[in-house]
Structure 1
Amino acid sequence: MKVTKVEAFEVRVPWVERLGEHMGKAGMPPEGAHRFVYKIYTDDGLVGYADGPDARDLIPKIIGHSPFEFMLDDSLWPLQVGLYDLMGKALGLPVCKLFGPVYRERVNVAYWSHCFPPEVLADEARRAAEAGFKVHKIKIRPAHDPVEQVKAIYEAVPEVQVIADANCTLWLVSKAVKVAKELERYNVFCMESPLPQQNIEGYKELKSKTVIPLAMHMGWGSGSEWTPNPITAIESRMVDYFVVEEHGARAMLNSGVLAETAIGEASA
């Protein structure tokens, strides 16, 4: 099986009308999401599908080659899902079987909202609950009071858990502690990146002063000046969860190894 052709379709998806203005105010592109969808053809008639950013410059690298040649080549990550789609189809296996045993049959999927006003989040939370979501992830930024945002969701659908992602914008431990203590009365699953992530001691202090679990973002710069090396974060016990946003199959497998190291047993 060799790749013979790749078609790239540029896709622009506008935000739903009720949220367009709010997405723009939150700093997102006002015109909506801009993606590419890829159809990868092979000489045996199979077709694999992927989506991601513009990776048309990578297409020549896979033409004439077997998808199996690129199993752990994360430099091709925008096309990699399509290559794995082809491998799974060729072997008659679900793609997860190409990485190891299946750890669980079901996983939670969170509804997602940007940093919207409380009344908008309340409406979105009701929509999320009606659609069957049990977790609602929101952005908390200086533009709105995070306590009022979470309170609005709780009053609308108290059974839905909230992930409050500050993107490091609470800045000070004292402020993060104040916000966390006020959020404890609501159904908060965790606070993600409340402080700049290199502030390991700050996270440990915050963790000691709230019952709300803490999470940090891992990927796109882990080990750089803005976020600690994941091993350092694990050893310091600065957080309870990692939100993994790595690109590629090898990076995903490495994240699994880190998880096993952190808890001392096989995990996913």
Structure 2
Amino acid sequence: MKITGIEIEQYLLPLDPPFKAAWDPMPRKNFASTLVFVHTDAGITGVGSGDLMMGLQGHEHLFIGQDPFDIERHHQIISNIDFHYGRCWPLDLALWDLIGKATNQPVYKLLGAKNQEIYAYASTGEMVTPEVRAERALQFIDQGFKAMKIRFHHKDVREDIKVVESVRKAVGNRLEIMVDANQGWKMPWDTDRVWDLKKAIEVGRELEQLNVFWLEEPLPCHEFEAMAKLRDKVEIRIAGGEMNRNWYDFREMNRHQSLDVYQPDVALSGGITGVKKIAEMVQANGAWFSPHTWTNGIGVLANLQLALGVSNCPFLEFPYDPQAWAIERRDFIQAEPLMIDNNGLLRAPAKPGLGFELNREAIMKYRIHHAYVGETE
């Protein structure tokens, strides 16, 4: 089998009302998704998504005529593209989707099949009043969720803590609560100051009193030693790493024991091929691997496949904050949106590959760009 063509399509879903992400002061009026298709002479096509694929166009010829199973070779080339241009890791996801379809196996079985199911935590995206967040938390319980994540980003962190207090009072011990401080990275136009170590310690100790399960990204993502000091000062678990792009960042974090929970996203940093190695490394050192999944539904599925394959963590992120971030928005390019069962579990997809079909009507309606490079071009 050999690769005969690579196709890239981009889509833009209008958002009305806009999505007001806690980490972004600019309301989002559109949601962009990109698909990459890898075609073969065997008639099998792998499909990946999760990031905008800036940088791949002009380099497709490096894959044409190659064996799709040469995954380490392809991973090195995508790493080189990442260094020079941008994140093209959805191509790695498409290759794994293709390999799964060629072997008639879901990807998680090819990766180790450690789990058949995993609890999802509802990962909220907006900042709302304490009362509204508490009401939505009760709705999560009714839907079957066993955990949720609350975003911080008020100017005064005491306002953020009031939200956690309100949710804890409403849910009691029926729901685990994670907190995302969103201090690890910034949007291009964000010039606000981030927390220092003393602030992170102060907040961590406050959240301990509210029985918070983990505190995510309390410090900039490159402050490996400071995060290790924070772990020594507080009892709460420290999570991070969602936007660290290089494998050696995770090597250094692992060496310093910076985190309790490592969160590289296969769609953003390393693909399934690279993140599997990171997961195995940090888990061998006693930490958890629970990937960031906030791209689109196909990105969630790709991270789910790896988590089911190798992860020891009891929870996986499930981006979900209706109605602002409902699954119909997140999964608009999929024929079947992904949702938990009544017990709060995400179960292993039965279909080969990553386990999804495309919503043909939606991708025709919202497509804004198409490009193809291949032997029959």
Q: What is the TM-score of this pair, normalised by structure 2?
A: 0.59
d(CA) in 2 for partners of 1:65, 1:6: 12
Match of 1:184 in 2: 208
Count how many residue pairs are aligned between Structure 1 and Structure 2.
259
d(CA) in 2 for partners of 1:258, 1:211: 23
Is residue 4 of structure 2 the alignment partner of residue 8 of structure 1? no
The structure, 1 or 2, with the larger RCO (C-alpha pairs under 8 Å, 6+ apart) is 2
d(CA) in 2 for partners of 1:154, 1:128: 13
**1:198-224 deviations in Å (ceiling 9; x for gaps):** 54554344334432111232553458x
How far is the alpha carbon of 1:116 from its aligned partner? 0.4
**1:119-172 deviations in Å (ceiling 9; x for gaps):** 443344234333322222232123462211212332343322222121337623
How far is the alpha carbon of 1:8 from its aligned partner? 3.3
- 2:262 and 2:282 in contact (8 A); partners too: no
d(CA) in 2 for partners of 1:174, 1:103: 39
Is residue 274 of structure 2 the alignment partner of residue 251 of structure 1? yes
Q: What is the TM-score of this pair, normalised by structure 1?
A: 0.79
Normalized per residue, the structure richer in helix is 1
Match of 1:263 in 2: 286
Assess, with a 3 A threshold, how the Cα gap between structure 1 residues 174 and 25 changes in structure 2: closer, same or farther: closer
Assess, with a 3 A threshold, how the Cα gap between structure 1 residues 51 and 200 changes in structure 2: closer, same or farther: closer
**1:64-111 deviations in Å (ceiling 9; x for gaps):** 433123455230522222221121111222223333x22222223222
Match of 2:154 in 1: 142
- 2:178 and 2:213 in contact (8 A); partners too: yes
- 2:51 and 2:89 in contact (8 A); partners too: no
- 1:46 and 1:86 in contact (8 A); partners too: yes
The letter of the residue matching 2:45 is V
- 1:24 and 1:30 in contact (8 A); partners too: no
Assess, with a 3 A threshold, how the Cα gap between structure 1 residues 236 and 70 changes in structure 2: closer, same or farther: closer
Select the residue among 255, 263, 270 that pairs with 1:235. 255
The letter of the residue matching 1:206 is L
Select the residue among 98, 112, 115 that pairs with 1:104. 115
Assess, with a 3 A threshold, how the Cα gap between structure 1 residues 64 and 27 changes in structure 2: closer, same or farther: farther
d(CA) in 2 for partners of 1:255, 1:31: 35
Assess, with a 3 A threshold, how the Cα gap between structure 1 residues 96 and 193 changes in structure 2: closer, same or farther: same
Is residue 90 of structure 2 the alignment partner of residue 78 of structure 1? yes
Aligned to 2:270, the other structure's residue is in SS state coil
Is residue 180 of structure 2 the alignment partner of residue 157 of structure 1? no
Select the residue among 150, 162, 166 that pairs with 2:181. 166
Is residue 219 of structure 2 the alignment partner of residue 195 of structure 1? yes
**1:12-53 deviations in Å (ceiling 9; x for gaps):** 234474xx3533883355223211123433332323221133
- 1:218 and 1:230 in contact (8 A); partners too: no
Aligned to 1:31, the other structure's residue is in SS state strand
How far is the alpha carbon of 1:181 from its aligned partner? 2.4
How far is the alpha carbon of 1:241 from its aligned partner? 1.8
Is residue 126 of structure 2 the alignment partner of residue 125 of structure 1? no
- 2:200 and 2:219 in contact (8 A); partners too: yes
Match of 2:334 in 1: none
d(CA) in 2 for partners of 1:4, 1:31: 37
- Percent sequence identity is 25
Match of 1:41 in 2: 39
